[in-house]
Structure 1
């Protein structure tokens, strides 16, 4: 996941924007493929940020 964050940052996004973009992609994939929702969550959670603050979405 960090590799993707770094690529997004290299394209001009801030780290916060990169993580937000990834969150949007995750939610889009879950909406389009609800049967894989659990697997998508596990994949993104495994490679996502580990800070407690990042686990709390507004």
Structure 2
């Protein structure tokens, strides 16, 4: 997930903390709307420490 955080900070001009929050929000949204994909979403995005 670190690559995504880096891209967000560079392309969107936001801080790493804001990028992590944005990705976490998107993860939660997708998991809420598509609960059957929760495991796949967790695997895809990993954690902020990855």
TM-score range, shorter chain: 0.7 to 0.9
Moved over 4 A (4+): none
Between the aligned partners of 1:6 and 1:31, the Cα distance in structure 2 is 25
What TM-score, normalized to structure 1? 0.68
Unpaired runs of at least 5, structure 1 = 51-58
Between the aligned partners of 2:45 and 2:6, the Cα distance in structure 1 is 16
What TM-score, normalized to structure 2? 0.76
Unpaired runs of at least 5, structure 2 = none
More relative contact order, 1 or 2 (CA 8 Å, 6+ apart): 2
Q: Determine the structure 1 residue equivalent to 2:8.
A: 8
Cα root mean square deviation, aligned: 1.7
Between the aligned partners of 1:49 and 1:35, the Cα distance in structure 2 is 22
From the CA coordinates, give the structure whose radius of gyration is larger: 1
